[in-house]
């Protein structure tokens, strides 16, 4: 009997449930497809090392999934509360008919269960389709040949999805029981009545606040754009983030008042058809919406930034690897007590020259920031950078040997000339400016001139990340009296790379095991770094996609629910308009405009924020390639259009159909 | 063709095949231009259904309604909406003012919907608000003014477009007696000054006594009709009370 009632309720109020259903289905779909990623392993030819990396990646996805589940739980609870709110009268009617609270809770329980079951089923189905799409993405990302196309299905991911979402439904059901138990019959029956009167604010304050908001956001933009080393000076970054945040809050608080005021000035426009109604309509809601608008704007900002930089970051990271891994393997010691001869001896003990050509060299270090050794520089930001930089130093001989090992023509250096090296692509601009502005550098008592080449993009060892901010190549005799930081050995194989990698790895392991002192040997292998790099960068892409899309869904769902929860107030207004002779088509038009404005305003500001954010990221973090950024921006726009657009459409359609039913 | 409203043998059924309720049963009457006509009747007599059918909010099952020479019963939805915009005005028991607009904007909206020029709007609104003595509250929002003022604003909004016919549905229903009197006097004044035809549904005899003519409805049919003619308002009121007693309606609905 009760289940019949529930079933009919679900069928009847499907329009109300549309947003709820859409959100859960999308969430289930994403949750499944990202948790099903390891199932794709069967398609890829992976080394055991890569499999280990993928396992650790899955741990990250697992942790993110927990956070996402919590976020979704809140979202679903919010949606559920909205539905209960809408149906209070109906529930009150059940109560007057003699149903107990327990029985009403049971009806709701079955309803939640049904909706949950349907959306879980549909979501999983879509998830299985989406994960096939992700497989294709994986194949492209990992640049591997697909051995055999296989239909990917992960039982673990399915069970996990069912478990997590069942938990969410359980919480929703519990909340429903609590909500119902708290209600009195009176509060249920009078729920439809408005107890909130609209209070309108004066518009003059809105203008001041809007100008302030624009100024704050503008200042924040200028700060981050002017400051080339924003990520190094976190205080300035925080300042601009806070400015931007407060500016955004004020922006949403005042924009409708501002527009209202501006348009009111133009009487022809304001008193044209229904313009004033629409404007007043939007400005009347500002008190309830500005906080959530800011939240939505921030979520969208993260979505856009994450999605459009994820692919570029991947390219940047993999591009960096080209520069940072010029040798097949590198070995180095850190030990301040031991002499360089001792360290060199230890490295020679490994007998690495059996596998190919080696270069062994000392790395010296400057004990003072480089700014004190060069002529005065006017550029403030460069000067600031130099005052924080302690360069590493190698000799001209070492540089020539390393160049030969890389099969690269070295820059010709005169006897008292020095050359700067960096392996961080993002610093090229600064390096160029810096080497143009200095004429000489002092080491010890002697002064050296700068090579006409200035700087070179060069790595002195193979490493996972570009960390060699500044290396100075100096004449051999200039290193006297400088402290040795470490001893490095670079190796270029002549024979089989796989065999060498495996054997040397073994040798280093056993060396580490039997070492009797605190000589710590670090070894890096080009192949391993590449395997690691490809997987890491793909992790960034996947995590970016996962979080970005979930954020997008959350913000769109939040917006949609907010619009729909205002519906009952607006129905009354639409009824009045109809009596005044406004046609249904015009009312639909008003609904469209209103929802469009609500969806577009936070999106517009978010897009502006992201443009600035991406610019800062692209300049500071990696050398993002323009064309890739463009492509991923197009892709982001596509995802945004699809998901945000469908939420907009569903909101508009359900709004419209309810408006048609409820107004005459 | 002097009548502004002609109702010819209209019927309105509710329900489906098995169970039909006749809300309006073969009803006919006419209203002359400039008339202030009242419709009275007990609960369930079909007053509201009649008003809805006449004001294009609902459709009749059979019969014709002709307003200003236009057969509204044969208009399509679009035509009806257009007709409503151009020819009709509404006043409701619950005022139905837009809470997000100021008093001035509420009245102006009725004009902007019709595409009236901005400069004209100002003049027209000023004119009518002066007549209704609500000029002092023009810049206020509905929640800032009294019920009586709200209803007069609603009145102004209904009249400002100079409609052929104004429908008033229990306009004094939510007002105290003093505000009711002021409102009814305003309606009477507008009826006389602007020669606006007003059709008012009420079950309050005092309210009804402001009209020129009253139709009594019971079970969807016209039960009686009384005309004020040269009677004073008090005599007319007594007359209404007599019919009401005759009508056998629930006594509670009279006072």
B109 touches chain A (CB under 8 A): yes
Residue A37, H or E segment: none
Q: At what angle do helices A14-35 and A48-86 cross, to 10 degrees?
A: 170
Chain A environment of B112 (Cβ under 8 Å) = 271-276
The answer to whether A386 touches A306, Cβ cutoff 8 Å, is no
Q: How far is B211 from chain A (nearest CA, A)?
A: 23
Q: How many residues does chain B have?
A: 255
Contacts of A383 (CB under 8 A, 6+ apart): A371, A377
pLDDT reading at B249 higher than 70: no
How many residue pairs from chains A and B have C-beta atoms closer than 8 A?
A: 83
Do residue A242 and residue A383 come from a single domain? no
Q: Give the per-residue pLDDT at A599.
A: 92
Other CB atoms within 10 A of residue B235 CB: 13
Confidence of residue A209 (pLDDT cuts 50, 70, 90): confident
Measure the N-to-C terminal CA separation of chain B; round to a whole number of Å. Answer: 39
* Structural domain includes residue A278: yes
**How many percent of chain B have pLDDT more than 70?**
96
Paired tokens of A574: 């639409």
| A443 closest CA partner among A365, A378, A382, A360 | A365
For the purposes of burial, counting CB atoms within 10 Å of the CB of A621, is it exposed (0-12), middle (13-18) or buried (19 or more)? middle
Q: Give the per-residue pLDDT at A608.
A: 93
* Structural domain includes residue A323: no
A580·B157 Cβ contact <8 A = yes
The answer to whether A647 touches A557, Cβ cutoff 8 Å, is yes
**Domain of residue A123, residue span:** 1-193
**H-helix segments, A453-525:** 497-514
Q: Give the per-residue pLDDT at A624.
A: 47
Q: Give the per-residue pLDDT at A388.
A: 80
B99, B101, B113: residue with CB nearest A581: B113
* For range B219-243, the mean pLDDT: 85
B115·A273 Cβ contact <8 A = yes
**How many percent of chain A have pLDDT more than 70?**
90
Q: Give the per-residue pLDDT at A163.
A: 92
- Per-residue pLDDT tens for A539-591? 888 888 888 888 998 899 888 888 887 787 788 888 888 888 888 888 899 99
Instruction: Give CA–CA dist A54/A315, Å, rounded.
Output: 19
Residue of B nearest to A197 (CA): B143
Chain B environment of A582 (Cβ under 8 Å) = 81, 85, 113
Chain A environment of B92 (Cβ under 8 Å) = 579
B77, B100, B118: residue with CB nearest A271: B118
Other CB atoms within 10 A of residue A322 CB: 12
| A577 closest CA partner among B198, B168, B143, B106 | B106
Contacts of A345 (CB under 8 A, 6+ apart): none
Instruction: Between A477 and A622, name the one with better pLDDT.
Output: A477
Tell me what ipTM this predicted complex has.
0.81
Instruction: Give CA–CA dist A27/A165, Å, rounded.
Output: 9
Q: At what angle do helices A275-283 and A584-620 cross, to 10 degrees?
A: 50
Residue of A nearest to B161 (CA): A580
Instruction: Give CA–CA dist A87/A24, Å, rounded.
Output: 20
B141 touches chain A (CB under 8 A): yes
- Per-residue pLDDT tens for B150-198? 888 988 888 888 888 899 888 888 888 888 888 888 888 888 888 889 9
At residue A171's C-alpha, the angle toward residues A170 and A176, to 5°, is 100
Looking at A525, A560, A578, which one is the last position of a domain?
Answer: A525
pLDDT reading at A80 higher than 70: yes
Instruction: Give CA–CA dist A192/A572, Å, rounded.
Output: 12
Do residue A23 and residue A67 come from a single domain? yes
**How many percent of chain A have pLDDT more than 90?**
11
* For range B121-149, the mean pLDDT: 87
* Structural domain includes residue A289: no
To test the contact with chain A by mutation, choose from B80, B88, B99 the residue with the greatest count of A C-beta atoms within 10 A, namely: B99
Paired tokens of B26: 């073969």
Long-range contacts of A335-338 (CB under 8 A, 24+ apart): A335/A486, A335/A518, A335/A519, A335/A520, A338/A519
Chain A environment of B108 (Cβ under 8 Å) = 271, 276
Looking at A525, A560, A590, which one is the last position of a domain?
Answer: A525
A267, A277, A281: residue with CB nearest B118: A267
* Structural domain includes residue A552: no
Q: How far is B29 from chain A (nearest CA, A)?
A: 24
**Domain of residue B86, residue span:** 5-253
Do residue A184 and residue A214 come from a single domain? no
* For range A266-276, the mean pLDDT: 83
Do residue A172 and residue A208 come from a single domain? no
To test the contact with chain A by mutation, choose from B101, B104, B110, B160 the residue with the greatest count of A C-beta atoms within 10 A, namely: B101
Q: How far is B96 from chain A (nearest CA, A)?
A: 6
Other CB atoms within 10 A of residue A522 CB: 14
A580·B108 Cβ contact <8 A = no
* Structural domain includes residue A623: no
* Structural domain includes residue A575: no
Do residue A125 and residue A216 come from a single domain? no
- Per-residue pLDDT tens for A313-327? 777 777 778 888 888
Do residue A186 and residue A217 come from a single domain? no
Q: Give the per-residue pLDDT at B255.
A: 44
Mapping DSSP to helix (H, G, I), strand (E, B) and coil, where does residue A579 land?
A: helix
Chain A environment of B115 (Cβ under 8 Å) = 273
| β-strand pairing of A471-474 with A417-422 | antiparallel
To test the contact with chain A by mutation, choose from B98, B120, B122, B159 the residue with the greatest count of A C-beta atoms within 10 A, namely: B98
Do residue A182 and residue A45 come from a single domain? yes
Instruction: Give CA–CA dist B252/B111, Å, rounded.
Output: 40
Q: How far is A584 from chain B (nearest CA, A)?
A: 8
Do residue A29 and residue A117 come from a single domain? yes
Domain count of chain B? 1
Chain A environment of B84 (Cβ under 8 Å) = 578-579, 581
Q: How far is A563 from chain B (nearest CA, A)?
A: 17
Q: How far is B110 from chain A (nearest CA, A)?
A: 6
Could you tell me the CA-to-CA distances from B202 to B43, B48, B233 in Å, in that order?
11, 10, 16
To test the contact with chain B by mutation, choose from A271, A284, A587 the residue with the greatest count of B C-beta atoms within 10 A, namely: A271
Domain count of chain A? 3
Do residue A359 and residue A256 come from a single domain? no
Q: How far is B146 from chain A (nearest CA, A)?
A: 14
Do residue A204 and residue A172 come from a single domain? no
Instruction: Give CA–CA dist A384/A395, Å, rounded.
Output: 27
A284·B100 Cβ contact <8 A = yes
Q: How far is A562 from chain B (nearest CA, A)?
A: 18
Write the DSSP string, A477-488.
GGGTTPEEEEEE
- Location of structure tokens 């359900």: A654
Q: How far is B192 from chain A (nearest CA, A)?
A: 23
pLDDT reading at A145 higher than 70: no
pLDDT reading at A206 higher than 80: no
Do residue A359 and residue A433 come from a single domain? yes
B120 touches chain A (CB under 8 A): no
Do residue A184 and residue A207 come from a single domain? no
Confidence of residue B254 (pLDDT cuts 50, 70, 90): very low
Chain A environment of B111 (Cβ under 8 Å) = 271
A198, A276, A664: residue with CB nearest B99: A198
Other CB atoms within 10 A of residue A121 CB: 12
Residue of B nearest to A264 (CA): B105
Q: Give the per-residue pLDDT at A602.
A: 92
CATH code assigned at B160 = 3.40.50.300
- Per-residue pLDDT tens for B104-116? 989 998 888 888 8
At residue A583's C-alpha, the angle toward residues B16 and A201, to 5°, is 120
| A292 closest CA partner among A637, A113, A484, A556 | A556
Q: Give the per-residue pLDDT at A657.
A: 84
* Structural domain includes residue A532: no
């Amino acid at each position: 009997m009760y289940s019949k009632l529930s079933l009919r309720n679900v069928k009847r109020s499907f329009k109300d449930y549309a947003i709820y259903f859409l959100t859960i289905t999308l969430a289930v779909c994403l949750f499944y497809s990202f948790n099903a990623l390891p199932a794709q392993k069967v398609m890829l030819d992976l080394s055991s090392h890569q499999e280990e990396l993928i396992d650790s990646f899955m741990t990250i996805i697992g942790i993110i999934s927990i956070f996402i589940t919590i976020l979704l739980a809140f979202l679903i609870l919010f949606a559920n509360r909205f539905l209960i709110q809408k149906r209070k009268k109906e529930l009150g009617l059940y109560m007057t008919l003699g149903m107990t609270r327990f029985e009403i809770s049971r009806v709701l329980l079955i309803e939640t269960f049904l909706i949950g079951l349907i959306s879980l089923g549909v979501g999983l189905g879509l998830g299985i389709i989406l994960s096939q799409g992700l497989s294709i993405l994986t194949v492209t990302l990992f640049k591997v040949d697909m051995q055999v196309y296989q239909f990917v299905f992960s039982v673990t991911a399915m069970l996990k999805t069912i478990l997590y979402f069942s938990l969410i439904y359980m919480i929703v059901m519990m909340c429903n029981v609590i909500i119902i138990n708290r209600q009195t019959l009176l509060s249920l029956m009078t729920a439809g009545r408005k107890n909130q009167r609209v209070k309108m604010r004066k518009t003059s304050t809105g203008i001041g606040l809007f100008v302030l908001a624009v100024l704050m956001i503008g200042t924040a933009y200028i700060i981050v754009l002017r400051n080339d080393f924003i990520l190094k000076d976190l205080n300035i970054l925080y300042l601009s983030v806070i400015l931007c945040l407060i500016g955004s809050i004020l922006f949403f608080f005042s924009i409708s008042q501002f527009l209202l005021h501006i348009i009111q000035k133009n009487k022809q426009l304001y008193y044209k058809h229904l313009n004033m109604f629409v404007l007043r309509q939007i400005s009347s809601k500002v008190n309830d919406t500005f906080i959530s608008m800011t939240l939505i704007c921030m979520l969208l900002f993260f979505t856009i930034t994450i999605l459009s930089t994820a692919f570029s970051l991947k390219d940047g990271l993999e591009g960096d690897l080209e520069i940072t891994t010029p040798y097949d393997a590198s070995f180095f010691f850190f030990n301040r007590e031991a002499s360089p001869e001792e360290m060199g001896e230890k490295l020679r003990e490994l007998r690495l020259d059996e596998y190919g050509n080696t270069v062994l060299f000392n790395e010296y270090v400057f004990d003072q920031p480089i700014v004190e050794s060069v002529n005065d520089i006017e550029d403030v930001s460069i000067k600031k950078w130099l005052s924080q930089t302690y360069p590493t130093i190698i000799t001209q001989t070492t540089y020539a040997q390393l160049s030969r090992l890389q099969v690269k023509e070295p820059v010709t250096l005169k006897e008292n000339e020095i050359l700067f090296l960096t392996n961080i692509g993002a610093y090229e601009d600064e390096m160029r400016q810096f080497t143009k502005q200095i004429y000489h550098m002092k080491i010890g008592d002697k002064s050296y001139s700068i090579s006409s080449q200035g700087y070179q993009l060069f790595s002195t060892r193979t490493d996972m990340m570009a960390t060699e901010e500044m290396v100075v190549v100096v004449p051999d005799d200039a290193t006297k009296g400088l402290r040795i930081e470490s001893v490095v050995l670079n190796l270029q194989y002549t024979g089989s790379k796989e065999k060498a990698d495996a054997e040397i790895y073994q040798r280093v392991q056993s060396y580490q095991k039997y070492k009797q002192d605190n000589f710590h040997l670090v070894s890096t292998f080009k192949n391993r770094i590449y395997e690691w790099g490809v997987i890491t960068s793909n992790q960034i892409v996947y995590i970016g996609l996962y979080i970005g899309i979930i954020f997008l869904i959350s913000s769109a769902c939040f917006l949609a629910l907010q619009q729909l929860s205002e519906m009952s107030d607006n129905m009354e207004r639409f009824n009045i308009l109809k009596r005044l002779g406004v046609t249904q088509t015009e009312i639909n038009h008003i609904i469209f405009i209103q929802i469009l404005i609500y969806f577009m305003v936070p999106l517009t500001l978010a897009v502006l924020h992201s443009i600035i954010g991406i610019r800062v990221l692209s300049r500071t973090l990696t050398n993002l390639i323009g064309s890739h950024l463009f492509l991923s921006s197009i892709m982001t726009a596509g995802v945004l259009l699809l998901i945000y657009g469908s939420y907009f459409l569903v909101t508009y359609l359900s709004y419209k159909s309810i408006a048609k039913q409820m107004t005459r | 063709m002097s009548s502004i409203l002609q109702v010819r043998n209209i019927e309105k059924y509710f329900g489906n095949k098995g169970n039909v309720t006749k809300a309006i049963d073969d009803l006919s009457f006419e209203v002359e231009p400039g008339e202030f006509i009242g419709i009275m009747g007990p609960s369930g007599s079909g007053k509201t259904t009649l008003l809805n059918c006449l004001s294009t909010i609902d459709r009749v099952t059979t019969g014709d309604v002709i307003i200003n020479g236009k057969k509204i019963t044969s208009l399509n939805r679009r035509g009806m909406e257009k007709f409503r915009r151009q020819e009709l005005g509404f006043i409701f028991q619950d005022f139905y003012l837009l809470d997000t607009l100021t008093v001035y904007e509420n009245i102006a909206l009725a004009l902007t919907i019709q595409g009236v020029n901005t400069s004209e709007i100002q003049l027209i609104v000023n004119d009518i608000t002066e007549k209704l003595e609500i000029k002092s509250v023009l810049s206020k929002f509905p929640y800032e003014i009294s019920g009586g003022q709200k209803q007069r604003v609603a009145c102004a909004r209904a009249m400002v477009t100079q409609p052929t016919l104004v429908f008033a549905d229990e306009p004094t229903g939510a007002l105290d007696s003093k505000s009711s009197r002021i409102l009814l006097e305003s309606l009477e004044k507008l009826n006389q000054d602007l020669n606006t035809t007003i059709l008012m549904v009420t079950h309050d005899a005092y309210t009804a006594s402001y009209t020129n003519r009253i139709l009594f409805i019971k079970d969807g049919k016209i039960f009686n009709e009384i005309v004020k003619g040269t009677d004073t308002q008090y005599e007319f009121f007594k007359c209404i009370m007599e019919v009401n007693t005759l009508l056998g309606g629930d006594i509670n609905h009279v006072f």
